[in-house]
């Protein structure tokens, strides 16, 4: 069938069963938005900022597993999605971004709104394409979706010059593609699996360390079966939370910088570490040379380049986690590791995650209550900083795809637009953005998108008046010199100030008024006693609700592994930090 | 231990691929000491010969990261394997009449060719492995090297097969 390039893109989206996409138009992509106009099968969500569009596409993808799609214009439209591409790239999220480009004849001439988009985005995409012949469009789009959603998933960008959109082409959408330089590992090698099972049988202190790969490959059931059959305890990375139910006794919590003591001690003491879809990130390992010093390492990963990148692996398996675990499950048996399990049980008992249960309004309490009131069944998106870590520590994730957070890049401003995507992908779910007062302002404009779409998203701002995570580091390691982290600070403040108090200027903006301006319900919570009422009111309303919790300004996330320390060296106070610095 | 490794990398012959590979090396802090590119027996593919400095661990990452690129079709490690390596140098040295004979002799020893001649200088073309080229440069230094250009090595495995390859995946 003959049609314009723009129409061909729309047809390709239909073929890929895309139903929801995000974007903002501009000069060179008018023909594409024109082809989408009135299309009954495509729900186009126009955000207020391209960063909002790509994070929304990302939240959509993470929460349902289908690829997220966004369309933006050339130049500034394309540069505005770079952070979103990098965010998705670091966390292996399947996205297809279509960017407009100046007409072919003008490329390289510093034309109006020209940017070298493929050049700029190469290091933050799994792959990118610049269309040079309009006839390539169907094949390239097929390849883009294929690459984004297979192997180690990731964002793929297709840059389309304006003349490609208006040219007439023959639309012939391929069913299959083959790319010579690309192959997808499936089930791990049988011989390696055998070695793994032998090592597991011999181990006295085995530990499963699983990550986001379990969620991407939909392997949670297989993981559960494996842990339940063998009895091997499980620690999860931030990206892995929900991959194994937090309510199961085998679960020891998140490991790493803000992990539980039990998870970190177990990692430190284990004699066999079974890494499944996790990548030995520095926030997990702490001081690399001392990471799991007694352990033999097994690593199952779909990306060969992840294996032996940071830690030399004894038994590597390149393969899909789901298929590999299925095979492992066939050979799995109950292990006799009761000594190890009682050692762990003692840590669990001695070192639960805690916080002061006094009259002060503390963020951990807010999340505890949120967990209870939502019956643990909400989809939680987060911003970045302390809010993110408290969410990870205190909301117990029992199912995959319930925690939507920027782990690898740590992108402030991610949570609110990601919530839009998550809500659209899961219209019946309760979606909550757990936010910091700093981060939320990085994409607060998307409150308007939420209002226009009438999305009943709940925003929980843990308002400490600080860029709290950075302030925490300053408190611990920089003598409480709160340089650039106070969000109340105005021009009347003294140069040096580390005392939040009644003398501080009023908070700007007033989040409750802001909620009102965006047509949402705004609630400010000052007291611990009011937390339940506010949360109950929020979750029972079919409206967008923004809650501004005025939490203890100098609350810290503990335990904490200081940067560069081994993960069994955890601190929980300024005194600990001082002792650490002296040592 | 810091060493030099030679990789022959078959890539799709299209624009942007060279920039992509160069970006990988700078982005991940790998060191390229030589790089040459040209077409292969199949015009759809180009072959890059890349010489990387580093240790075994870095080499392992370089190979894996290269293999991960969609546009990279094959990576062959020619470091340990028996392989033929060649490089061309064009080197312009000061050679006034009274010195010219000496330089001619050096050229002959190195199986080089004189490709250009003027009153004050002459230009030699020499082919060989890196050691030979280094030796040539050292010997010519006292005469005064005016300008030189090196291709970087191209390498190929010995024998009939396409040995030592780690293909993508
Ligand atoms: C885009 C971006 N800029 C800067 C940072 C560095 N950073 C990490 S956490 C943080 C503070 C976040 O403050 P807030 O959103 O209020 O969260 P809190 O830690 O107070 O809960 C900053 C500035 C970042 N992660 N992302
Ligand atoms: Mg804050």
A469 an active-site residue? yes
Of B17, B50, B80, at which residue does a domain stop? B80
At B12-55, the pLDDT tens digits run 998 889 998 999 999 999 999 999 999 999 999 999 999 999 99
Distance from CA of B110 to the nearest CA of A (A): 41
Q: A43 phi and psi, to 5 degrees?
A: -95, 100
Are B54 and B93 in the same domain? no
Residue B165 placed within a domain: no
CB contact under 8 A, A305 and B70: no
Which residues neighbour A139 within 8 Å (Cβ) at sequence distance 6 or greater? A174, A177
- Give alpha helix (H) positions in A110-189: 117-121, 137-149, 162-166
* Burial (0-12, 13-18, 19+ Cβ within 10 Å), A364: buried
Q: Which residues of B touch A127 (CB under 8 A)?
A: 70-71
Q: Is the pLDDT of residue B166 over 80?
A: no
Distance from CA of B169 to the nearest CA of A (A): 5
Judged by phi (left if over 0) then psi (alpha if -120 to 50, else beta), residue A262 lies in: alpha
A50 an active-site residue? yes
Confidence of residue B163 (pLDDT cuts 50, 70, 90): low
**Residue B66: CATH number of its domain:** 3.30.70.260
Which residues neighbour A530 within 8 Å (Cβ) at sequence distance 6 or greater? none
Which atom of ligand 1 lies at the shortest distance from residue A409's CA?
A: 25
Are B88 and B121 in the same domain? yes
A396 an active-site residue? no
Report how many domains make up chain B. Answer: 2
Domain A2-170, what architecture? 3-Layer(aba) Sandwich (3.40)
Predicted confidence pLDDT, tens digits, chain A (583 residues)? 999 999 999 999 999 999 999 999 999 999 999 999 999 999 999 999 999 999 999 999 999 999 999 999 999 999 999 999 999 999 999 999 999 999 999 999 999 999 999 999 999 999 999 999 999 999 999 999 999 999 999 999 999 999 999 999 999 999 999 998 899 988 889 999 999 999 999 999 999 999 999 999 999 999 999 999 999 999 999 999 999 999 999 999 999 999 999 999 999 999 999 999 999 999 999 999 999 999 999 999 999 999 999 999 999 999 999 999 999 999 999 999 999 999 999 999 999 999 999 999 999 999 999 999 999 999 999 999 999 999 999 999 999 999 999 999 999 999 999 999 999 999 999 999 999 999 999 999 999 999 999 999 999 999 999 999 999 999 999 999 999 999 999 999 999 998 888 889 999 999 999 999 999 999 999 999 999 999 999 999 999 999 999 999 999 999 999 999 999 999 999 999 999 998 8
Looking at ligand 1, which residue's alpha carbon is closest to its atom 5? A412
**Residue B124: CATH number of its domain:** 3.30.70.1150
- Report pLDDT for A189: 93
Nearest CA-CA partner of A476 in A582, A364, A575: A575
Beta-bridged to residue B89, according to DSSP, are B126, B150
Q: Which residues of A touch B27 (CB under 8 A)?
A: 123
How many residue pairs bridge chain A and chain B with CB atoms within 8 Å of each other? Answer: 50
Residue B164 placed within a domain: no
CB contact under 8 A, B69 and A119: no
Are B63 and B108 in the same domain? no
Work out the end-to-end distance of chain A between its first and last CA atoms, rounded to an integer number of angstroms.
Answer: 73
Are B43 and B109 in the same domain? no
Give the closest of B16, B64, B168 to A182, CB-based.
Answer: B168
Q: Is the pLDDT of residue B168 over 60?
A: no
**What's the CATH number for A363-465+507-550?**
3.40.50.970
Name the one residue in this structure whose structure tokens are 């692996």.
A313
Q: Is the pLDDT of residue B99 over 60?
A: yes
Are B57 and B89 in the same domain? no
Q: Is the pLDDT of residue B63 over 50?
A: yes
Name the one residue in this structure whose structure tokens are 């993110």.
A388
Residue B57 placed within a domain: yes
Inter-CA distances, B110 with A540, B117, B147, Å: 87, 18, 18
Name the one residue in this structure whose structure tokens are 């190195």.
B110
Dihedral in degrees, nearest 10, Cα atoms A203, A205, A206, A211 = -160
User: A437 in ligand 1 pocket by Cβ < 6 Å?
Assistant: yes
Which residues neighbour A44 within 8 Å (Cβ) at sequence distance 6 or greater? A21, A22, A23, A33, A36
A136 an active-site residue? no
- Report pLDDT for A506: 95
Residues B123 and B64: beta-carbon distance below 8 Å:
no
Nearest CA-CA partner of A226 in A191, A264, A200: A200
- Report pLDDT for B159: 87
Residue B44 placed within a domain: yes
Count of other CB atoms within 10 angstroms of residue A159? 24
Are B99 and B55 in the same domain? no
* Residues of B within an 8 Å Cβ radius of A: 11-12, 16, 19-20, 23, 27, 57, 60-61, 64-65, 67-74, 168-169
Residue B169 placed within a domain: no
pTM of the model: 0.96
User: A250 in ligand 1 pocket by Cβ < 6 Å?
Assistant: no
Out of A48, A66, A113, A574, the active site residue is A113
Q: Which of A80, A258, A385 to mutate to test the pocket of ligand 1 (most atoms within 8 A of CB)?
A: A385
Are B89 and B75 in the same domain? no
Distance from CA of B138 to the nearest CA of A (A): 39
Q: A303 at the B interface (CB within 8 A)?
A: yes
- Report pLDDT for A308: 92
Q: A170 phi and psi, to 5 degrees?
A: -90, 125
User: A147 in ligand 1 pocket by Cβ < 6 Å?
Assistant: no
Residue B142 placed within a domain: yes
Give the closest of A118, A180, A303 to B73, CB-based.
Answer: A180
Residue B72 placed within a domain: yes
Distance from CA of B58 to the nearest CA of A (A): 9
- Report pLDDT for A123: 95
Q: Can you tell me the distance from the alpha carbon of B133 to that of B151, in angstroms, rounded to the nearest whole number? A: 11
* Burial (0-12, 13-18, 19+ Cβ within 10 Å), A342: exposed
- Report pLDDT for B167: 47
Work out the end-to-end distance of chain B between its first and last CA atoms, rounded to an integer number of angstroms.
Answer: 27
Q: Is the pLDDT of residue B164 over 80?
A: no
Q: Where are the beta strands (DSSP E) in A234-385?
A: 234-236, 251-254, 272-276, 296-301, 315-318, 379-382
Q: Which of A467, A472, A473, A551 to mutate to test the pocket of ligand 1 (most atoms within 8 A of CB)?
A: A467
Q: Can you tell me the distance from the alpha carbon of A140 to that of A156, in angstroms, rounded to the nearest whole number? A: 11
User: Which two structure tokens, joined as six digits, stand for A34?
Assistant: 């024109």
Out of A16, A22, A33, A50, the active site residue is A50
Of B36, B62, B80, at which residue does a domain stop? B80
Which residues span the domain enclosing B107?
A: 84-154
Which atom of ligand 1 lies at the shortest distance from residue A440's CA?
A: 15
- The domain spans of chain A are 2-170, 190-350, 363-465+507-550
CB contact under 8 A, B65 and A305: yes
Which residues neighbour A350 within 8 Å (Cβ) at sequence distance 6 or greater? none
Inter-CA distances, B22 with A122, A123, B36, B59, B79, Å: 11, 11, 12, 16, 20
Query: For residue A406, how far is the Cα from the chain centroid?
Result: 3
Q: Can you tell me the distance from the alpha carbon of A522 to that of A547, in angstroms, rounded to the nearest whole number? A: 6
Residue B131 placed within a domain: yes
Considering chain B, what percentage of its residues have pLDDT values greater than 70? 95
User: A466 in ligand 1 pocket by Cβ < 6 Å?
Assistant: yes
User: Which two structure tokens, joined as six digits, stand for B102?
Assistant: 């000496």
Q: Is the pLDDT of residue B169 over 70?
A: no
Name the one residue in this structure whose structure tokens are 């802001």.
A514
* Domain A363-465+507-550 in the same topology as domain A190-350: yes
Q: A489 at the B interface (CB within 8 A)?
A: no
Q: Can you tell me the distance from the alpha carbon of B115 to that of B127, in angstroms, rounded to the nearest whole number? A: 13
Chain A from 140 to 169: CB within 8 A of any B CB: 147
Inter-CA distances, A4 with A40, A167, A169, A182, A387, Å: 19, 5, 6, 30, 47
Are B25 and B55 in the same domain? yes
CB contact under 8 A, B16 and A185: no
Q: Can you tell me the distance from the alpha carbon of A60 to that of A432, in angstroms, rounded to the nearest whole number? A: 14
At A524-558, the pLDDT tens digits run 999 999 999 999 999 999 999 999 999 999 999 99
Q: Which residues of A touch B12 (CB under 8 A)?
A: 180-181
- Report pLDDT for A567: 95
A452 an active-site residue? no
Mutation target among B54, B70, B165, B169 for the A interface, most CBs of A within 10 A: B70
- Report pLDDT for A77: 98
User: A410 in ligand 1 pocket by Cβ < 6 Å?
Assistant: yes
Match domain A190-350 to its CATH number in 3.40.50.1220, 3.40.50.620, 1.10.1060.10, 3.30.420.40. 3.40.50.1220
Distance from CA of B144 to the nearest CA of A (A): 41
Q: Can you tell me the distance from the alpha carbon of B127 to that of B133, in angstroms, rounded to the nearest whole number? A: 8
SS3 B154: strand
Beta-bridged to residue A380, according to DSSP, are A403, A432
- Please name the residue of chain B whose CA is at the shortest distance from the CA of residue A125: B69
Are B25 and B66 in the same domain? yes
């Amino acid at each position: 069938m003959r049609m314009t390039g723009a129409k061909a893109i729309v047809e390709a989206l239909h073929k890929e069963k895309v139903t929801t996409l995000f974007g903002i138009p501009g000069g060179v992509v008018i023909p594409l938005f024109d082809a989408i106009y009135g299309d009954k099968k495509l729900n186009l969500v126009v955000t207020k900022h391209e960063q909002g569009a790509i994070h929304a596409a990302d939240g959509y993808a993470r929460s349902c597993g289908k690829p997220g799609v966004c369309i933006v214009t050339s130049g500034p439209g394309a540069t505005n999605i770079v952070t979103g591409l990098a965010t998705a790239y670091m966390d292996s999220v399947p996205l297809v971004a279509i960017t407009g480009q100046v007409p072919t004849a003008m490329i390289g001439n510093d034309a109006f709104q020209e940017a070298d988009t493929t050049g700029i985005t190469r290091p933050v995409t799994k792959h990118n394409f610049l269309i040079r012949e309009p006839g390539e469009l169907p094949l390239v789009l097929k390849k883009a979706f294929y690459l984004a959603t297979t192997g180690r998933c990731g964002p793929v960008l297709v840059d389309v010059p304006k003349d490609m959109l208006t040219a007439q082409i023959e639309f012939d959408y391929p069913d299959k593609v083959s790319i010579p330089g690309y192959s997808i590992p499936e089930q791990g090698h049988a011989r390696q699996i055998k070695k793994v099972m032998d090592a597991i049988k011999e181990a006295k202190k085995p530990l499963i360390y699983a990550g986001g790969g379990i969620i991407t490959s939909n392997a949670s059931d297989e993981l559960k079966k494996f842990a339940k059959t063998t009895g091997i305890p499980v620690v999860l990375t931030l990206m892995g939370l929900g991959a194994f139910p937090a309510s199961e006794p085998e679960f020891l919590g998140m490991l790493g910088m803000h992990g539980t003591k039990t998870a970190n001690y177990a990692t430190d003491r284990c004699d066999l570490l079974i890494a499944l879809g996790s990548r030995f990130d520095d926030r997990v390992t702490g001081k690399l040379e001392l990471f799991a010093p007694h352990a033999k390492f097994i690593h199952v990963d779909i990306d060969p380049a992840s294996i032996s990148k940071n830690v030399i692996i004894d038994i590597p398996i390149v393969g899909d986690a789901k298929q590999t675990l299925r095979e492992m499950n066939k050979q799995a048996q109950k292990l006799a590791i009761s000594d190890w399990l009682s050692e762990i049980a003692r840590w669990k008992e001695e070192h639960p995650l805690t916080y002061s249960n006094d009259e002060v309004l503390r963020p951990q309490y807010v999340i505890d209550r949120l967990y209870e009131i939502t019956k643990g069944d909400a989809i939680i998106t987060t911003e970045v900083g302390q809010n993110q870590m408290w969410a990870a520590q205190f909301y117990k994730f029992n199912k995959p795809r319930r925690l939507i957070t920027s782990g690898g890049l740590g992108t402030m401003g991610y949570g609110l637009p990601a919530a839009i995507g998550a809500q659209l992908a899961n219209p019946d779910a309760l979606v909550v953005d757990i936010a910091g007062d700093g981060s939320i302002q990085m994409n607060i404009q998307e409150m308007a998108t939420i209002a226009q779409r009438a999305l009943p998203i709940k925003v929980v701002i843990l308002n400490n008046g600080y860029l709290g995570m950075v302030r925490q580091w300053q408190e611990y390691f920089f003598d409480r010199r709160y340089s650039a982290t106070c969000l109340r600070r105005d021009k009347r403040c003294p140069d040096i100030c580390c005392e939040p108090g009644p003398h501080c200027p009023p908070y700007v903006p007033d989040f409750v008024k802001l909620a009102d301006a965006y047509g949402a319900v705004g609630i400010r919570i000052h007291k611990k006693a009011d937390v339940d009422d506010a949360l109950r009111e929020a979750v029972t309303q079919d409206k967008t609700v923004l809650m501004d919790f005025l939490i203890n300004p100098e609350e810290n996330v503990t335990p904490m592994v200081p940067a560069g320390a081994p993960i069994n060296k955890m601190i929980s106070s300024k005194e600990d930090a001082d002792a650490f610095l002296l040592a | 231990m810091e060493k030099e490794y030679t990789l022959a990398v078959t890539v799709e012959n299209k624009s942007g691929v060279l920039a992509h590979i160069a970006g990988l090396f700078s982005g991940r802090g790998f060191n390229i000491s030589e790089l040459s590119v040209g077409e292969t027996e199949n015009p759809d593919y180009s072959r890059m010969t890349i010489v990387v400095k580093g240790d075994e661990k870095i080499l392992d990452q370089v190979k894996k990261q290269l293999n991960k690129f969609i546009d990279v079709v094959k990576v062959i490690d020619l470091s340990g394997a028996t392989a033929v390596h060649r490089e061309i140098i064009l080197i312009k040295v000061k050679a006034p009449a009274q010195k010219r004979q000496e330089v001619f002799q050096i050229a002959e020893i190195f199986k080089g060719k004189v490709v250009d001649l003027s009153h004050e200088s002459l230009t030699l073309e020499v082919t060989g492995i890196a050691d030979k080229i280094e030796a040539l440069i050292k010997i010519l230094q006292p005469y005064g090297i005016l300008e030189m250009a090196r291709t970087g090595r191209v390498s190929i495995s010995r024998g009939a097969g396409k040995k030592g390859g780690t293909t993508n995946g």
